[in-house]
Amino acid sequence: MIKNGTRLQSQVCDTQIIVVRSTESLDGLRAGGAPMIAIGDSAAEGLTLDPAFAGGTVMGKRYVDDSGAEILVTKSGKGSLSVGDNPMEIKAAKPLPASD
């Protein structure tokens, strides 16, 4: 299982992330349709950006999945994030309490 604080990069675009809250589902974490690798590792030969996962990422945004996993994008890229074939969503901001 991927641990909290792990830094990963995409093999097919510039996306880099840090794992904020890990769950077992993150073992299938992908960017641009390809599995993510540790920062500094070499990308596999012949991988290309999957057009179905080319929505892009936004630097500084947190992405979540249904299992409660949460990641923070530290460098944006052209590939979108997914766990397997399930896209990750940008975490919604918590509403501030009303001030009277």
**Coil, helix or strand for 41?**
coil
Whose tokens are 């975490």? That residue is 91
With a cut of 70, list the residues of the chain below it in pLDDT: 100
The per-residue pLDDT for range 54-71, each reduced to its tens digit, is 999 999 999 999 999 999
The domain ranges of the chain are: 7-90
Quick one: pLDDT at residue 100? 66
| C-alpha span between 77 and 66 (Å, rounded) | 23
